[in-house]
Amino acid sequence: MAVYPLKPARKPPLKERGLIAWLRKNLLSSPFNIALTIFGVAILYMIIPPFIKWAFIDANFVGNSKADCTGDGACWVFIKEKLNMFIFGFYPQDILWRPKVVMLGLVALLIFAKFVKGFNKLKLFLIVIYPIIGYILLHGGYFGLEVVETSKWGGLLLTLIIASVGIVLSFPIGVILALGRQSKLPIIRSLSIFYIELIRGVPLITVLFMASVVLPLFFPQGVDFDKLARALIGISLFEAAYVAENIRSGFQAIPKGQYEAADSLGLTYWQKMGLIILPQAIRVTIPNLVGTFISLFKDTSLVMIIGLFDLLSMVNVAANDRDWLGMETEGYVFVAFIFWIFTFGMSLYSKYLEKKLDINKKG
Amino acid sequence: MSNIIEMKGVNKWYGDFHVLKDINLDVKKGEIVVVAGPSGSGKSTLIRCINRLEEHQEGIIRVKGIEVNSDIKNLRQIRSNVAMVFQHFNLFPHLSVLENLILAPIWVYKKPKKEAIETAMYYLNKVNIADQANKYPNQLSGGQQQRVAIARALCKNPDIMLFDEPTSALDPEMIKEVLDVMINLAQEGKTMVVVTHEMGFAKKVANRVIFMDEGQIVEENDPQNFFHNPQSDRLKLFLKQILNH
Ligand SMILES: Nc1ncnc2c1ncn2[C@@H]1O[C@H](COP(=O)(O)OP(=O)(O)OP(=O)(O)O)[C@@H](O)[C@H]1O
Ligand SMILES: [Mg+2]
């Protein structure tokens, strides 16, 4: 017979720990890996220092005309001077307070909804009526506000409007399509499949052209259907097909037992889907959904081709200004940066949501 | 009409596979029926036909006199009288324990939330787990989850409880805590149909034990005779196998 005493836990040997070990394991583990590491470092070396030199060290930040830029580095004066244009498009300069109020109001509303507890009914109410308030403020025509046609809306404002309306509308449509695709009724199922597969087989540009050219044919002569509204409908219907596929993959992750438990409790179909299946399906599919919404956000720049002036088109417009010729690079870097801020923010938020809504949370 | 469940000549196929063959089974109110049999013999299919998680193709099933068929009104009535406990618990992982329990009372039985919570806490106490009300299912042990599932079933105040191998997914040390709860229920006079390999449970509380093999009811008897005086060779073999393992 033998008795063995319990041993205290020790730290791993030194060569398994610390920076050196990490480098060895991740960057220098094999000749191929070493070659890749050298290659990667070389590329970074070729790109990053020149960019920093261009964007910061040699760049010009002060002044108000092209003459104030030395031309060695970036001319950020251009961005500064055209900022209103980039953000608001052709919205009349003297009433910029209206889009500003709308944007700040949205931020305030989001902060309120996110960080203030309770008031759930009020929050829901505000979220539902905010688009209407926003529309009235932006478009005017009521309460003595001067009318600003949607064709004047542009820049980041337009990009955000298209993206948020697209997300808000495509989500419920996508959910309905996903439910339809699961339906036991053959007609509903085949219609949903047909729609989803059709849309997914067509580029967004085509859908936008269709929405701007074909859609008006369905309306009686003389009814002028707003161009922005057409684009919004087109984008929402397009995106809905992708949302539907995301949610369908979420459905497939739900074990059969969940349906059976819901059935055996006596829940109706809609209760089962709404209370049990959808909440779980959406949770597991959040990373994919956010991916879809990120690509929607970037795709908004395609509205340029049907004559709407989103952020990217405004840069083109500004760079064609005779006083500022040759400023495309600064403009595009700026646009890329803005897009990156928003999409990266969405990514972070999705990580946070994933953690917060993790179904398998322990402890 | 003292038979709360009636099955007459029930047949079911999965494609070409004849999974239930001429099942005749009556269960009286307050009766405890244990269903045993080898794997794949159709036990789950049988009890799942009672609340129509599976559809039978021939024969008649009635629950409290209401026929189990495609009529959605019948189905709703039947499911509100029948509760089921599954092998893998099937709790809703996105809802807390308490939310799992009040779901059916609120949405199916239209009870006020306050009353639903009171009932839920009553049954959580009964299964000795009231202190876990605000946890999520995945934060509980298997035995605790199964007791929550039983409490969720009880919150429907069902006339009939169906159990499909409620202890087979549990570690040995947790089986007893679940069986104790079930034994309590049995002694309170709930009608129960229980698929299980726990022969101790059958001996202790069953009024009747049914042996299934290849989709048929091969033998049924009171527990005393079922275990000590089996008739068919297949039951003898089955008993030898499960008692020896
Ligand atoms: N959806 C299905 N489609 C086809 N065959 C099925 C299906 N469900 C079950 N079966 C088959 O029907 C037979 C009976 O299944 P059932 O689940 O009722 O058996 P069981 O007695 O409960 O077995 P176990 O003890 O393993 O749970 C098995 O042979 C199984 O493979
Ligand atoms: Mg089974």
Residues A246 and A116 placed together within one structural domain of the fold: no
- The residue range of the domain holding A177 is 156-356
Residues A132 and A183 placed together within one structural domain of the fold: no
Whether the CB-CB separation of A153 and A87 falls below 8 Å is answered with no
Q: Is residue A226 part of a domain?
A: yes
Q: How much is the average pLDDT of A40-60? A: 88
Percent residues over pLDDT 90 in chain B: 91
Amino acid at A336: A
Residues A250 and A331 placed together within one structural domain of the fold: yes
Q: Is residue A78 part of a domain?
A: no
- Residues, Cβ < 5 Å to ion ligand 2: B 44
What token pair was written down for A81? 């001077």
CATH number at residue A189: 1.10.3720.10
Q: Is residue A272 part of a domain?
A: yes
Q: Is residue A19 part of a domain?
A: no
Final residue of a structural domain among A83, A114, A147: A147
Strand order of the sheet with strand B216-221?
B82-85, B160-164, B191-195, B32-36, B208-213, B216-221
Residues A100 and A220 placed together within one structural domain of the fold: no
Residue among A258, A263, A271 whose CB faces B92 most closely: A258
Q: Is residue A2 part of a domain?
A: no
Whether the CB-CB separation of A294 and A351 falls below 8 Å is answered with no
Final residue of a structural domain among A147, A170, A193: A147
Residues A202 and A331 placed together within one structural domain of the fold: yes
Residue nearest (by alpha carbon) to ligand 1 atom 30? B40
- Structural domain tally of chain A? 2
Final residue of a structural domain among A147, A177, A212: A147
Whether the predicted pLDDT of A363 surpasses 50: no
Q: Is residue A173 part of a domain?
A: yes
Q: Residues with Cβ < 8 Å from B125, sequence gap 6 or more?
A: none
Residues A329 and A221 placed together within one structural domain of the fold: yes
Residues A294 and A330 placed together within one structural domain of the fold: yes
* Per-residue pLDDT tens digits of chain B, which is 245 residues long: 579 999 999 999 999 999 999 999 999 999 999 999 999 999 999 999 999 999 999 999 999 999 999 999 999 999 999 999 999 999 999 999 999 999 999 999 999 999 999 999 999 999 999 999 999 999 999 999 999 999 999 999 999 999 999 999 998 889 999 999 999 999 888 999 999 999 999 999 999 999 999 999 999 999 999 999 999 999 999 998 887 76
**Residue A72 has what pLDDT?**
82
Residues A131 and A161 placed together within one structural domain of the fold: no
Residues A257 and A118 placed together within one structural domain of the fold: no
pTM: 0.85
Residue among A264, A268, A362 whose CB faces B53 most closely: A264
Rounded Cα distance between A270 and A288, Å, is 24
Q: Which residues of chain B have a CB within 8 Å of the CB of A360?
A: 93, 138
Q: How many CA atoms lie within 13 A of A86 on its CB side?
A: 21
**Residue A65 has what pLDDT?**
78
Residues A264 and A335 placed together within one structural domain of the fold: yes
**Residue A141 has what pLDDT?**
83
Q: Is residue A193 part of a domain?
A: yes
Do the chains contact at A261 and B91, CB–CB below 8 Å?
Answer: yes
Whether the predicted pLDDT of A243 surpasses 60: yes
Q: Is residue A196 part of a domain?
A: yes
Residues A197 and A345 placed together within one structural domain of the fold: yes
Residues A136 and A163 placed together within one structural domain of the fold: no
Chain A positions with Cβ closer than 8 Å to B: 255, 257-258, 260-268, 271, 275-276, 279-280, 283, 357, 359-363
Whether the CB-CB separation of B97 and B137 falls below 8 Å is answered with yes
CA of A337 to the centre of ligand 1 (A): 58
